Amino acid sequence: MNFYPLNDIETISPHPMLFIAGADAHSREFSEEAYKLAGQPKELVIIPGAGHVDLYDRIDLIPFDKLTSFFQSHLR
């Protein structure tokens, strides 16, 4: 079975989506396209100086404040 994640991304709405990408990530364009196609509510955060894998283990680059506020706002 083939699955392309952007085919039905608009159907996730009204569930909130948070996209986080490194400014230097090879996958940044995918995140920006997903954000563009997604319904509301949605947020896109671009992390300056970060590549794709930096957001897995570079503690100084991971946006913990944004993650915390997003989940506090949307999880009940």
Of 28 and 5, the one with more pLDDT: 28
pTM for this prediction: 0.89
41 near 68, Cβ under 8 Å?
no
Burial of 66 (0-12, 13-18, 19+ CB in 10 A): middle
pLDDT at 1 over 90: no
What residue spans define the domains of the chain? Answer: 14-74
pLDDT at 76 over 90: no
How many CB atoms sit inside 10 A of residue 22's CB? 21
Which tokens go with 6? 């952007």
The DSSP secondary structure of 3-34, one letter per residue, reads --TTTTGGGGTTS-EEEEEETT-TTHHHHHHH
